[in-house]
Amino acid sequence: MPQQNLLSAVHRAPQTFDLRPSRRSDQGANQLLGYPDELMIDWGDTPRGSKVQIYWPQASASDVVRLAMMLYATEAPRAVDLETVECTVTSRVTFVPIPFATGGNFAGLFTIELPPGVVRGQEFHIVVRRISTRQLPTQPIIAARPRAAARAVAKSDVLRRVTRDWRYVVGTFQITIPVRRAEELLVPEERTLSIMKWRLLQTPPANRWYPVLKRYVSYLGFRVNGFGGDAGGILPSPTGQLPPSKSQGSDDKIEHTGKVCEVLFDCFGDFEGFVLDSCAESIPFRSRERGIAEIILRACRERLLVAVFVERKSPHKICQIVVRC
């Protein structure tokens, strides 16, 4: 992969999301009820020149572009391919129409690419809101009016009916992009890649999420390579377990990650160990430390993900426990 693409990859932040398509009404686009729902993207302090791509495999990019050209006087999204549109950040807020459709939800991938020039320590927050239309039932006019004022009343009644339709927020999600050193981001990104590889293997190709996960995994792989890792060496794992050499950066430790399925006590009721379920196997560990007992009991009660590190030469000797909330 060329170096330029690697640099772009580490500036790219993908996020999956799910939404239902807009519902078509019998109203025209000049009426609020005829408007499609919209994504209102609040960029906050995200640098101008950043780009966002929205990938909707169940929708047509040309439909999104056509609706945007009808509704907005500003620059419309561009079609990157048949299922992807792209916008450039030029102002605080960007609107993207959600195309009309019937049937199931759209599985989507929202990918932001930051421009060169961002520095370590910066953090960007993007808020995406879905805007829809709401209508209250029109109330009939009960009070009698003079005939001379009938024409004015009729106009007032029409105006009253129009103002009963309004736009409002029906859902939202936020994306946070921290700018950090590559070595700080590498291991978390490798774990995410491992989990998403496993999820992709569990997803049937006919599932609506399959193409989204496939593209998401490819982006994560590019990011891992850009951070100095080896995406090809990351194996699928439901817990994000990495090869021993990747665990805490130490070759003399072995990591076992999973959830506590059993807590062991002796005949006097004293803690003596626990069993860790890593999906692939159940691994027993022995310990009589009071502090470990408290951690393990909480992890078991709250179903927390636990990483147990043991020495390679003494695989039953616990040297570190990490609880991932």
What's the CATH number where 309 sits?
2.40.50.70
Residue 93 domain-assigned (yes or no): yes
Residue 275 domain-assigned (yes or no): yes
* Interatomic CA distance for residues 274 and 287, integer angstroms: 8
Residue 141 domain-assigned (yes or no): no
Reading the block at residue 121, the tokens are 């320590």
pLDDT for residue 2 is more than 60 = no
Same domain as 131, residue 95: yes
Same domain as 112, residue 215: no
pLDDT for residue 245 is more than 90 = no
Same domain as 204, residue 283: no
Select the more confidently predicted residue: 141 or 217: 217
User: For position 28, which CATH number holds?
Assistant: 2.60.40
DSSP 273-287: EEEEE-SS-EEEEE-
Same domain as 18, residue 114: yes
For residue 255, which of 233, 283, 274, 234 has the smallest C-alpha distance?
283
Same domain as 223, residue 103: no
Sign of the torsion angle spanned by Cα atoms 147, 153, 154, 155: positive
Same domain as 54, residue 127: yes
Give the residue numbers spanning the domain of 2: 1-136+159-178
Backbone angles phi, psi at 140, to 5 degrees: -70, 150
Residue 144 domain-assigned (yes or no): no
Same domain as 187, residue 163: no
Residue 320 domain-assigned (yes or no): yes
Same domain as 41, residue 93: yes
Across-strand partners of 126?
Answer: 175
Reading the block at residue 46, the tokens are 């995200």
Strand, coil or helix: 202:
helix
Q: What is the pLDDT of residue 183?
A: 85
Q: Among 80-89, 120-129, 166-175, 210-219, whose mean pLDDT is lowest? A: 166-175
**End-to-end alpha-carbon separation of the chain, Å?**
35
Residue 153 domain-assigned (yes or no): no
Q: What is the pLDDT of residue 282?
A: 84
Residue 70 domain-assigned (yes or no): yes
Whether 40 and 127 have beta carbons less than 8 Å apart is answered as: no
CA atoms within 13 A on the CB side of 256: 23
Same domain as 173, residue 184: no
Task: For residues 244-256, give the mean pLDDT.
Answer: 61
Q: What is the pLDDT of residue 239?
A: 82
Same domain as 87, residue 71: yes
pLDDT for residue 147 is more than 60 = no
Of these ranges, 23-32, 64-73, 104-113, 280-289, the one predicted with the greatest mean pLDDT is 104-113
* Interatomic CA distance for residues 99 and 23, integer angstroms: 9
Residue 220 domain-assigned (yes or no): yes
Domain count for the chain: 3
Strand, coil or helix: 130:
strand
Q: What is the pLDDT of residue 233?
A: 85
Select the more confidently predicted residue: 93 or 312: 93
pLDDT band at 135 (very low <50, low <70, confident <90, very high): low
Same domain as 50, residue 166: yes
pLDDT band at 249 (very low <50, low <70, confident <90, very high): very low
Reading the block at residue 278, the tokens are 């890593």
Q: Which residues, other chains included, contact 216 with Cβ-Cβ below 8 Å and sequence gap of 6+?
A: 14, 16, 109, 196
Reading the block at residue 32, the tokens are 């609020």
Select the more confidently predicted residue: 149 or 235: 235
pTM (predicted TM-score): 0.66
Same domain as 186, residue 110: no
Backbone angles phi, psi at 305, to 5 degrees: -80, 130
pLDDT band at 244 (very low <50, low <70, confident <90, very high): low
Q: What is the pLDDT of residue 272?
A: 92
Q: What is the pLDDT of residue 321?
A: 86
How confident is the model over 252-266, as pLDDT tens digits? 678 888 899 999 999
Our measurement of the distance from residue 221's CA atom to the centroid of its chain's CA atoms, rounded to an integer in Å, reads: 17
pLDDT for residue 4 is more than 50 = no
